[in-house]
Amino acid sequence: MSEEELTLKEIQQAIEQVDRQRLDLPLGVKERGLLELSALALRDAERLAIARLQKEVYKDMEQITARLNDLSKRIRTRVTRMNKVPKALDAIETVIKEVVKILVAVGKW
């Protein structure tokens, strides 16, 4: 788990704790107000932590995409190279068939 993920988890745990405390009935108006402000601040911190994690994920995805594109190019190059051999064999086969036709025709004379 990365540092950002741990921080996010800690923030979420703090939000849960503040939410539980806010539900406490004997709280005074002042205490409840402070807990409300704390909850808002913690939710803002949570959003920032999530945004940082998303940036990390995007960077990772960009790197993976670049590697996949490179691999895809190499595969296409190799497939193209592999396809040249059957095409050459097809051309040779066509030439041999024509030579055989000529030899058969010459043999009939």
Count Cβ atoms below 10 Å from residue 86 Cβ, excluding itself. 9
Angle, helices 29-108 vs 3-22, to 10°: value is 140
Count Cβ atoms below 10 Å from residue 49 Cβ, excluding itself. 19
Nearest alpha carbon to residue 20 among 50, 42, 46:
42
The rounded distance, in Å, linking the Cα atoms of 29 and 105 is: 111
Question: CA-based Rg of the chain, rounded to a whole angstrom?
Answer: 36
**Predicted TM-score (pTM) of this structure:** 0.59
The rounded distance, in Å, linking the Cα atoms of 58 and 80 is: 32
pLDDT computed for residue 109 by the predictor: 65
The residue extents of the domains of the chain are: 3-80
Mean pLDDT, each 10-residue run in order, the chain (109 residues): 82 93 85 92 94 92 94 92 82 87 79
Q: What sign results for the dihedral spanned by CA atoms 48, 52, 54, 58?
A: positive
